[in-house]
């Protein structure tokens, strides 16, 4: 606890109970130290910086008013929960944030009794809060359930579904809407504009707040049904006049706010009031994303998910020259294709910078669409555009496309529509961990009729696949990893033959054949080179396509060798290796003495760590692939 004064040291060591009785002056010191701890740590480890800096005073107030872990505090996504971790026993281990075996970058139930719900994907907190509150009431227990959600996350359909149900059941729960105007990119949509207008209109209105307090007091205490109906009617009329008819009140929520999200006392007062009210309550707080760190306040999008940076300048630390990242190659290639074909449009779900669709936004703003955190809407909207002759390229992280599983099947594949899915972050993504690894897409997409599924071995092949995808007439998906490519020369884009793989390492009379897909092609080539030192002859095939498979290439591999291995950066059940086995079984090609060995991610969730560490853990490093082949050949 270096650089902490004695008062703050004592607070940290006995949190969260100790903060309930200390002065606001000490709490301000605590907030300052929490902010500095987060900045110092993220500058070394990387992590979600700006959103966590904006929620510190809110977190302190939450732990002052409520009694965690008895009271359940549920964080949406988890981008706001670092201060919560620091106040609940993880200060000394916080330097291990997002490191293998260290503190998880998101709330994690196995890590602390204060983390009540595993999160990582957006807009789940209100549903989880509702579920816990209903279970509490059914069990006859007494505790508070509090969900914290950002103004970007609350725009998703799932959040509205949960609010609709919560307002209907009248279950007592507290939802804190943390409005900072930013999700990852600036928020889009009518609802975000509404909350911003609401804040600007009534934040300084003492009349509104007094009327609201009086009305809610009467609603909670009146017993006469007739008088209660009169007060309810007055409430709606008053709110209509004072606040442009507050949306939340019409859904059945009591509404408190807007409140300065950096004023601990003001937040505390609102939370105390909410705690003593009945039914569902929205507490609306206004915060500044990146609060307390100048560079993050000026550019919260840049510092949303920050890599290690210089504390003094805020500049990200460069690790030396590296090949272009897949995301940038995708974005630049898409812009290039848009110059040639005016029908192409790009769609993102609040991930323009992350997917590099911001390059399209800059070049052709009228052909760029950000739907906010709403993947289901993104996919079905794309289907609608495809019906009218457009070629929508939907760029979504692999792990987030899971949220639109039904829409891909029902709205795109069933109608055989020409929608291109650019699945970013396919495979293992590193320190964001199991909620963000894209290790299921090969499995869940290959089961969909009409869909073509492919994965490039390098950034140059990504360009060819993108051109192939926009020229194909039907549902088609490209899956590529996060981060730097292999450094190959980028050629002029060309179309690939659908379902056609290639031999990338040819040998005569091989001891084994490795049929790999995506990033595993390069790892397999390296594994083959390791095995050659032991005198083994290894052939390597780049499958390119997961669906349809190159039947002739695979059959030839089986005919010339007794030991065939499939290698994929995907969970093994239902994956690429399973597809190869199905192909061979259908064609009665697995003869006695011949074996197919599947190498991929085991049937489990993978923790967080660096990519080399995770490759080693899952057996996908070149060394581990070589070892697996060597054992089999022996």
Beta strands in 449-584 (DSSP E): 452-454, 476-479, 502-505, 512-516, 538-542, 545-547, 563-571
Say whether 235 sits in a helix, a strand or coil: helix
Calculate ∠ Cα 209-211-217, nearest 5°: 100
Chain centroid offset of residue 389 CA:
31
Residue 224 structure tokens: 């006469």
DSSP 90-122: -TTTGGGTTSTTS--SS--TTT-TT--S---SS
Q: What tokens were used for 536? A: 């083994």
Rounded to whole angstroms, the Cα distance separating 48 from 42 reads 8
Residue 79 and residue 52 in contact, taking contact as beta carbons nearer than 8 Å:
yes
How large is the C-alpha radius of gyration of the chain? 27
Q: E strand or H helix at 326, and its extent?
A: helix 326-340
Cα–Cα distance for residue pair 466/388, rounded to 1 Å: 21
CA 325 to chain centre: 19
Residues tagged active-site? 289, 375, 403
In which residue are the tokens 């052909």 written?
A: 367
Residue with tokens 């004023």: 263
Two structure tokens written together for 350: 């609040």
Q: How far apart are CA 207 and CA 281, in angstroms?
A: 20
The DSSP string of 243-274 is: HSS-HHHHTT-EEEEEEETT-HHHHHHHHHHH
Q: ω into residue 211 within 30 of 0, thus cis?
A: no
Asked whether 285 and 177 are in contact (CB, 8 A), the reply is yes
Q: How far apart are the C-alpha atoms of 145 and 452, rounded to whole Å?
A: 45
- In SS3 terms, 414-481 reads as CCCCCCEEEEECCECCCCCCCCCCECCHHHHHHCCCCCEEECCCCHHHHHHHHHHHHHCCCCEEEECC
DSSP state of 277: S
Q: No. of H helices and E strands in the chain?
A: 26, 19
């Amino acid at each position: 606890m270096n650089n902490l004064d004695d008062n703050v040291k004592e607070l940290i060591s006995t949190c969260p109970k100790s903060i309930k009785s200390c002065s606001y002056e000490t709490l301000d010191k605590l907030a300052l130290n929490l902010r500095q701890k987060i900045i110092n740590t993220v500058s070394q480890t990387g992590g979600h910086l700006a959103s966590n800096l904006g929620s510190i005073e809110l977190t302190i107030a939450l732990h002052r008013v409520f009694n965690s872990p008895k009271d359940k505090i549920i964080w949406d996504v988890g981008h706001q929960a670092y201060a919560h971790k620091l106040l609940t026993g993880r200060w000394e281990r916080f330097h291990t944030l997002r490191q293998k075996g260290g503190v998880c970058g998101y709330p994690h139930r196995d890590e602390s009794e204060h983390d009540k719900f595993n999160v990582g994907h957006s807009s789940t907190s209100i549903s989880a809060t509702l579920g816990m509150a209903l279970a509490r009431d059914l069990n006859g227990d007494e505790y508070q359930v509090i969900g914290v959600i950002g103004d970007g996350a609350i725009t998703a359909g799932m959040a509205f579904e949960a609010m609709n149900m919560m307002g209907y059941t009248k279950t007592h729960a507290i939802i804190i809407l943390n409005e900072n105007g930013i999700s990852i990119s600036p928020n889009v949509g009518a609802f975000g504009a509404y909350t911003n207008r609401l804040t600007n209109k009534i934040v300084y209105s003492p009349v509104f707040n007094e009327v609201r307090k009086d009305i809610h007091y009467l609603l909670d205490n009146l017993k006469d049904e007739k008088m209660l109906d009169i007060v309810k009617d007055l409430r709606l009329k008053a709110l209509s006049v004072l606040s442009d008819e507050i949306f939340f009140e019409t859904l059945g929520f009591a509404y408190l706010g807007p409140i300065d999200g950096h004023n601990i006392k003001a937040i505390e007062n609102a939370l105390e009031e909410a705690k003593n009210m009945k039914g569902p309550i929205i507490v609306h707080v206004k915060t500044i994303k990146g609060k307390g760190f100048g560079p993050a306040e000026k550019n919260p999008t840049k510092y949303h998910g920050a890599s290690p940076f210089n504390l003094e300048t805020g500049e990200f630390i460069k690790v030396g020259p590296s090949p272009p990242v897949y995301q940038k190659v995708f974005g630049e290639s898409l812009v290039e294709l848009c110059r040639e074909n005016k029908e192409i449009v790009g769609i993102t779900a609040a991930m323009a910078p992350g997917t590099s669709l911001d390059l399209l936004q800059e070049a052709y703003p009228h052909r760029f669409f950000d739907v906010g955190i709403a993947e289901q809407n993104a996919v079905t909207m794309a289907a609608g555009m495809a019906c009218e002759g457009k070629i929508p390229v939907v760029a979504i992280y692999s792990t987030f496309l899971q949220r639109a599983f039904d829409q891909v099947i029902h709205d795109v594949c069933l109608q055989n529509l020409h929608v291109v899915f650019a699945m970013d972050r396919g495979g293992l993504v590193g320190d964001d961990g199991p909620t963000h690894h894209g290790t299921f897409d090969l499995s869940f997409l290959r089961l969909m009729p009409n869909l073509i599924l492919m994965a490039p071995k390098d950034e140059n092949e990504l360009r060819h696949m993108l051109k192939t995808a926009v020229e194909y007439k039907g549902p088609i998906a490209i899956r590529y990893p996060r981060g730097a490519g292999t450094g190959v020369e980028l050629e002029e884009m060309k179309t690939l033959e659908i379902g056609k793989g290639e031999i990338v390492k040819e040998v005569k009379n091989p001891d084994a054949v490795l049929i790999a897909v995506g990033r595993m092609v390069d790892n397999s080539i390296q594994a083959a080179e390791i095995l050659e030192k032991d005198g083994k002859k290894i052939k390597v095939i780049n499958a390119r396509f997961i669906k349809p498979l190159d039947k002739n290439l695979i059959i030839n591999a089986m005919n010339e060798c007794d030991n065939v291995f499939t290698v994929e950066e995907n969970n093994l059940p239902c994956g690429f290796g399973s597809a190869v086995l199905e192909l061979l079984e259908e064609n009665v090609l697995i003869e006695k003495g011949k074996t197919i060995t599947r190498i991929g991610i085991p049937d489990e969730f993978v923790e967080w760590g660096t990519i080399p560490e995770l490759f080693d853990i899952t057996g996908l490093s070149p060394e581990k692939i070589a070892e697996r082949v060597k054992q089999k050949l022996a």
